[in-house]
Amino acid sequence: MTAKFELFKDAAGKFRFHLKAANGEIIAASQRYTAKAAAQTGIASIKDNAASAPTEDLT
């Protein structure tokens, strides 16, 4: 299995997504979205931007 996004409705009826690692562990969780299309746009943004995003160490 490879990493995957899971799109779902939460208990309040809002759309959310998780990014799960190959082992099934959740490695990222989204905010709540009122529209499914907005959640899908959030997923697309991560796919487009995450690989080139710098790490800012705030420790």
CATH code of 4-48, in short, is 3.30.160.160
Identify the CA nearest to 38 among candidates 19, 21, 17, 20: 17
Domains of the chain: which residue ranges?
Answer: 4-48
pTM of the complete model? 0.87
Predicted pLDDT of residue 1: 73
Dihedral, 35, 25, 49, 33 alpha carbons, nearest 10:
10
* 7-29 tens-digit pLDDT: 999 999 999 999 999 999 999 99
Report the C-alpha gap between 49 and 4 in whole angstroms.
16
CA angle 51, 55, 57 (to 5 degrees): 165
Two tokens at 49? 């931007």
**Residue 4: pLDDT band with limits 50, 70, 90:** very high
